Amino acid sequence: MSVADTARTATAAGTATAWCVDPYADALRDGRGPLFLRRTDGWLLPLEIERWCARADAADLSALRWCEGAVLDVGCGPGRLVADLAFRGRTVLGIDVSEAAVNHTVELGGQALRRSVFEPLPGEGRWNTALLIDGNIGIGGDPDALLRRIAQLLAPSGLLIAETAPVDVDEQVQVRVTDAQGAAGAPFPWARLGSRALLKRARRLGWRTDGQWTADGRCFVALRRARTERISIHSADTPNSTAVISSQRARKPSPDEPVDAS
C-alpha cells in the first residue's frame, strides 16, 4: 500500500469514527436535532436533521431529475434520496460510514452499504451518476482527492451532481459533530466549497461543467467526467462484513444501467 493509500485509509477510518458518535446516531434515530458541525474556533454549522429524515423535497428532486442510469449516493445519510430513486425503479446504492444512517436507509426500502467512499466499492468504474448532496463535497476534507475518487467510480462520461455551499467559500477544516447539550465526537477533516470554488477545482482536474442551478436557496453543480482511458481500480464485488444491504428485489438493468448493486 502506498503512502497516499495509507493516508486515505486513515482519513476514512477517522471520519467513520467521528460520524458514528452518539449525537449523530441519536439525532437520526429521533429524526430531529439540533445538531452541528463545530470548527476548532467554535463556529457552528447547523445540520438539517429534520430535512434529511423527511421525504425528498423540491430542491432534492431538482437534482434527482439530472440522474442518469445507475446512481451511487455518496454519504447517503438517512436515505431519502436513495429511497426516492428506488421507489421510481432506479438502480441506486447509498453508502455512508454511519451505521444509523445505513439502517435508516434500509428501513425506507433502499439499498445501502456501511462503507467510506475511499474504500473498495461495488461497481467501480461503472456508475452512471454519483451524488454528493447536503454538503458531502466536504467528505474527507480534501475536495481534490474526493473528485479524483469519484472519477474512478464513474463510468466514462459519468455524471457527478454536487450540492455546494450557498456562499463563496473554499475551506478545509477540522470539525466535530456536536449536539445542543455539548456532547461531541472526535475531530475529523471536512471541507466547504461554494459553486465557484468547486468549478475551479473541477476544471483543473479535467471535469466538464454540465450545469448549475439553485432551488429553495440551495446550490447545485452538475459535472461530467472526461472520457479518458479507464483508471485501474480495486475490485469490490463482495460487500464486507460491516455492509448492510436491503432485501429490495434486484431488477434487470437496462443497457444504460450496468450496475447490479445487490
pTM attached to this predicted model: 0.81
Asked if 50 contacts 32 with a C-beta cutoff of 8 angstroms, the reply is yes
**Alpha-carbon distance 171 to 222, whole Å?**
21
**Alpha-carbon distance 194 to 219, whole Å?**
8
Pairing, β 71-74 against β 92-96: parallel
> Could you say which residues of the chain have pLDDT below 50?
1-3, 6-7, 9-11, 13-21, 229-262
Single-letter amino acid, residue 43: W
**Starting from the edge strand earliest in sequence, which strands make up the sheet with 154-164, in order?**
112-114, 92-96, 71-74, 127-132, 154-164, 218-224, 208-215
pLDDT 10s digits, 188-198: 999 999 999 99
Tell me, what's the pLDDT at 183? Answer: 86
Neighbours of 233 (CB within 10 A): 13
In order, the DSSP letters of 63-128 are HHTT--SSEEEET-TT-HHHHHHHHTT--EEEEES-HHHHHHHHHTT--EEE--TTS--TTTTTEE
Tell me, what's the pLDDT at 182? Answer: 85
pLDDT 10s digits, 168-190: 999 999 999 999 888 888 899 99
Asked if 112 contacts 245 with a C-beta cutoff of 8 angstroms, the reply is yes
Q: Can you list the alpha helix ranges (DSSP code H) found in 180-223?
A: 195-204
**Starting from the edge strand earliest in sequence, which strands make up the sheet with 44-46, in order?**
44-46, 35-39, 170-179, 188-193
Tell me, what's the pLDDT at 22? Answer: 67
Nearest to 164 by CA among 204, 200, 118, 115: 200
Which grid cell is 148?
479524483
Tell me, what's the pLDDT at 142? Answer: 98
Tell me, what's the pLDDT at 226? Answer: 80
Tell me, what's the pLDDT at 130? Answer: 98
Nearest to 16 by CA among 122, 120, 140: 140
Tell me, what's the pLDDT at 185? Answer: 83
Which grid cell is 47?
445540520
